[in-house]
Chains A and B, each alone.
Chain A
Amino acid sequence: MINTQDSYLDVYRSMLFARRLEERIASLYRAGKIVGGVYLGRGQEAVSASLGYALKRSLGDVFAPLIRDQAGRVAFGEDPLDFARTYLGSVKGPMRGRDGNIHRGRPSEGMPAMISHLGASVSVINGMLFAKRLRGDSGFVGGATSGEGATSTGAFHEGLNQAAVENLPLVVVVTDNQFAYSTPNARQFACDSLVDRAEGYGVAGHTCVGNDLKECVDTICEAVDNARRGQGPQLVVAQSLRLCGHGEHDDAFYVPDEIRETELGQDCIDTGRDFLISRSLATAEELDAMDEELRSRVREVMATAQRDPQPDPFRDDWRTFSQL
């Protein structure tokens, strides 16, 4: 079991770092300094960071993050400069200005670059796991995330079924944030809970409350441990609420105020902080200091990325093939 007292603090730190990074990118967006869209994981950091934390690059794990996984990326070890550089289109980023915002990755370092098409990453992670197994590696796990909306795609069904048939060490974490863009759950799926699907695929199912730091860490670490111990694919469904629009262009008018006033509407950064303090895992002063340190790192990262060179169409090689 990875899960120790330290883990809660580590996960919280990734959550907070992601929140601060995204706040800064959102303000650059409002200032007109980002060419494309900006998509935040506000409210979903606990789920995301828990998965990024539970997966270990040192053990050969691979992680396919999705739209709202800045926290998971930080926890898995992505350099925050990759985030800033990709949003800003810098040539120094992993995508060199050829793709933007959330679509980045370093596939050779265990983090494939997502494509927009939802559901596609599940089978890609399966392939990475399959390759490792063929090579004779062991003890690795692959994580893929999804929103409840993405679970309606054929790719998601095919991917989970494929992982089950192959008995791959895959952990799929679904963050059910009640809305897929503007579409409420009632128009997205007709079963009571998405975790019921686990049985249909023949995989283990788990649930947790997405804004409860402890529950997220405990549940997701357990799922990852199960997969690592050869128990096959695991499906985790976290109940959550997106505390922002789909992207920064969206004011989320379709989310009724009442739902924001329920427990789901609580911000995981706040509840996480209260949890750490109440368990004496950190003091308020320590967490404030952590926040201050992270804010200053965000300023550094953004300043560096903003000084980076932009791509030059006359110098770019434009190659689509690695071999001619």
Chain B
Amino acid sequence: MSIYYIDAIRLALEEALDKDPSVFLYGQDIGRFGGAFKATQGLKEKFPDRVVDAPISEDAIAGLAIGAAIEGMRPVIEMQFADFSSIAFNQIVNNAATHYFRTGVPVPLVMRLPSGGTPGSGPFHSQNLEAIYGHYPGLKVVAPAFVSDAYSLMLEAIACDDPVIFCEHKFLYRWLSTERFRPLDLPIGKGRIIRAGKHATVATYSAMVHEALKAADELAKDGWQIEIVDLRTIKPLDTDTVLASVARTGRLLAVSEDFPFGSVASEVVAKVASSGFDLLDAPPMQHNSKDTPIPYHPNLWSAHRPTAESIKIALLELLNF
């Protein structure tokens, strides 16, 4: 039986609800309807009191989660789309993120963000906000690329005493599946090398890992061996794993699906340039979506964001430097 990325999320939520009575889910349409993407399907029936539909009030959803977390619960809130978390921005970055530093009282909440683009999603249902949340001290930000990571990072996020922003990729929900579902014992804050190579390193995460894998396969036909680091966690960022990889390859391409200004890729490039300048045989490169709002039409959209093809072109530029 195939387990999809979204199933892994649901299974992890179910396991957490089962194991720990202080876990509860709160968000729009997550109850009997099962969530806009069906990530919570069936959970209301099993845990009627702890899977709760919320009004369309992202700020209040986050605020309620903060209050409940302070009281010792472990709320998991769902934003219907990552884009709408901008309404909850204040509570997350000013309240949740600062809380432990200010008061010494932790805020164990998870905010689930269905992130990233799919064809036809347009400017308001496609955004990647991991760099924005990563900017704020006090928030952990994860972005799993694989089914097993989605499962184990979710369980870890819920068990974590600090606020975790959980970026799940909508494209991966029903695209990525596995037959051999093996929970990973790799904690928040650790990246991993998912493809070994010696000519260049691609550091990326979430759906872009799969685009990078395709690009690497293409380049392998011409003898290029591309190493791919899946960051898994945006904050804390596993700079060590990236630097160790760049030490082997001498070249870095950082890829993220977010906008180029102040992106996760910019951060990776900055870290490597400042801590590993002597490891580099070429200027470190970053590759992002275009610096425009996210377009609606699939033709425009696929030209807007990084794809296997555009990653391959960027890599060739890097390899030929």
Contact = CB atoms under 8 A, between A and B. Distances in A.
Interface string B283-301: 0000000000000000000
Given A113-B103, A117-B94, A320-B101, A107 B70 contact: yes
A98 B98 CA distance: 10
Contacts of B98: 99, 115
Contacts of A112: 67, 70
A56 to B, nearest CB: 17
| Chain A CB within 10 A, most for which of B65, B90, B161 | B90
B102 A120 contact: no
Chain B interface SS verdict (over half): helix
| Chain A CB within 10 A, most for which of B71, B138, B162 | B71
A322 B106 contact: yes
B50 A134 contact: yes
| Chain B CB within 10 A, most for which of A112, A123, A126 | A123
Contact of B67 (A103, A128, A158): A128
Nearest to B162: A321
Interface stretch (B51-59, B206-214, B219-227): B51-59
Given A124-B95, A130-B64, A322-B161, A108 B57 contact: no
Interface string B53-81: 01101011111111111111101000000
A191 B13 CA distance: 45
A165 B67 contact: no
Contacts of B162: 321-323
Nearest to B70: A107
A128 B64 CA distance: 7
A122 B102 CA distance: 19
B94 to A, nearest CB: 5
Interface string A121-138: 111111111111011000
A162 B65 CA distance: 12
Interface in B103-138: 103-106, 137-138
Given A113-B103, A131-B73, A165-B55, A120 B95 contact: yes
A322 B57 contact: no
Contacts of B170: none
Interface in A179-219: none
A103 B101 CA distance: 13
Given A120-B90, A122-B63, A159-B60, A127 B71 contact: yes
B259 interface: no
Contact of B63 (A116, A124, A322, A323): A124
Contacts of A103: 102
A121 B57 CA distance: 14
Contacts of B99: 107, 113
Given A127-B64, A131-B73, A165-B55, A120 B91 contact: yes
Contacts of B138: 320-321
A312 B146 CA distance: 44
Given A106-B103, A115-B98, A127-B63, 15 more contacts: A107-B105, A112-B70, A113-B102, A123-B64, A123-B66, A127-B65, A127-B68, A131-B72, A155-B59, A162-B54, A320-B97, A320-B137, A321-B140, A323-B106, A323-B160
Interface of A: 94-96, 98-99, 103, 105-108, 112-113, 115-117, 120-132, 134-135, 154-155, 158-159, 161-162, 165, 319-323
Please list the 7 inter-chain residue pairs (A to B) with the smallest Cβ-Cβ separation, ordered nearest first: A127-B67, A123-B63, A131-B71, A158-B60, A127-B64, A158-B57, A322-B106
22 contacts: A94-B103, A96-B104, A107-B105, A108-B70, A121-B63, A124-B63, A125-B67, A127-B68, A127-B75, A128-B68, A130-B68, A132-B71, A134-B49, A134-B68, A134-B73, A155-B90, A155-B91, A159-B59, A320-B100, A321-B100, A321-B162, A322-B161
Interface of B: 24, 49-50, 54-55, 57, 59-73, 75, 87, 90-91, 94-95, 97-106, 137-138, 140, 160-162
